């Protein structure tokens, strides 16, 4: 299936990159051996490629070729360094900081206090707070593993699994991973589901505690 897209990351030293996905698809991995001979990918360049799926490794682009050169003439040798600097500035690693990260961290501290109070008053078992902290560490690790696999074209963690860990209570760790790792932070569909898992978890646990406080639940 022939498609067009924009290069959002290119690791020249490691020989791989990513083409921007759509709202319904994840970013597409491509390797230097899949690039048209004699052409060097650049961040921000529009390309044509053939989309393939390799087992459970996610989408991959082959037969990648550039469509729109970044300039109309040859770049002088003295300008190469600034060009590289601008490419880094446009890469996902230097994207603006997530404005929701700090509120999420404050919400996580408040939620930890709520769980601690519930454990102290025996509304929840004593192991809930340490288990919740461990769950968030594990959620970060799962995101890191998926990012690592994406960079190497290996087997990916299904997005539903990532959302499951957020739903179970790992939503703070998920948000931290999205910001630090720059993973899944730009996909609108993924973000919409992430926020839904956060709300459902808080409402469900909060409803349980409220019911117990009102004597509606044992």
pLDDT of residue 68: 55
Could you tell me which of 5, 28, 2, 1 has the C-alpha nearest to residue 17?
28
Domains of the chain, CATH where assigned: 2-93 (2.40.50.140), 95-213 (no CATH)
Neighbouring C-alpha atoms within 13 Å toward the C-beta of 200: 13
Torsion, Cα of 143, 28, 95, 137 (10° steps): 0
For the chain, how far is it from start to end, CA to CA, in angstroms?
A: 57
Q: How far apart are CA 80 and CA 83, in angstroms?
A: 5
Q: How far apart are CA 72 and CA 86, in angstroms?
A: 17
Are 75 and 42 in contact by the 8 Å Cβ rule? The answer is no
Are 184 and 160 in contact by the 8 Å Cβ rule? The answer is no
Tell me the pTM: 0.56
Kindly give the interhelix angle for 188-213 and 101-120, rounded to the nearest 10 degrees.
20
pLDDT of residue 78: 44
- Which string of b and e fits 52-86 if b means at least 16 CB within 10 Å? eeeeeebbbbeebebeeeeeeeeeeeeeeeeeeee
Q: Tokens in use for 39? A: 């052409």
pLDDT of residue 84: 46
pLDDT of residue 22: 67
H/E run at residue 66: strand 59-66
Return the DSSP state at 130. Answer: H
Residues of the chain where predicted confidence (pLDDT) is lower than 70:
1, 22-25, 55-57, 68-97, 214-218
Could you tell me which of 158, 154, 112, 102 has the C-alpha nearest to residue 133?
112
pLDDT by residue (tens digit) across 114-165?
A: 999 999 998 899 999 999 999 999 999 999 999 898 888 788 899 999 999 9
Q: How many CB atoms sit inside 10 A of residue 88's CB?
A: 11
Q: Look at the block and give the residue holding tokens 């109070």.
A: 117
pLDDT of residue 218: 55
Q: What are phi and psi of 80, to 5 degrees?
A: -65, -45
């Amino acid at each position: 299936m022939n498609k067009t897209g924009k290069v959002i990351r290119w690791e020249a030293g490691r020989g791989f990159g990513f083409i921007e996905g759509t709202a319904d698809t994840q970013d597409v991995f491509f390797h230097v051996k899949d690039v048209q001979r004699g052409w060097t990918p650049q961040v921000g360049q529009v390309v044509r490629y053939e989309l393939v799926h390799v087992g459970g490794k996610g989408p991959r682009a082959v037969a990648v070729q550039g469509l729109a050169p970044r300039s109309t003439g040859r770049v002088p040798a003295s300008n190469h360094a600034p060009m590289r600097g601008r490419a880094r500035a446009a890469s996902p690693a230097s994207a603006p900081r997530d404005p929701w990260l700090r509120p999420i961290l404050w919400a996580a501290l408040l939620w930890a206090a709520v769980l601690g109070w519930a454990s102290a008053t025996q509304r929840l078992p004593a192991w809930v707070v340490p288990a919740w902290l461990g769950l968030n560490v594990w959620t970060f690790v799962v995101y890191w593993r998926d990012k690592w696999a994406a960079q190497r074209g290996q087997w990916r963690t299904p997005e539903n699994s990532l959302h499951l860990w957020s739903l179970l209570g790992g939503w703070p760790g998920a948000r931290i991973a999205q910001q630090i790792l720059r993973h899944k932070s730009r996909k609108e569909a993924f973000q919409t589901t992430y926020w839904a898992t956060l709300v459902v978890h808080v409402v469900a646990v909060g409803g349980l505690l409220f019911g117990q406080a009102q004597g509606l639940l044992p």
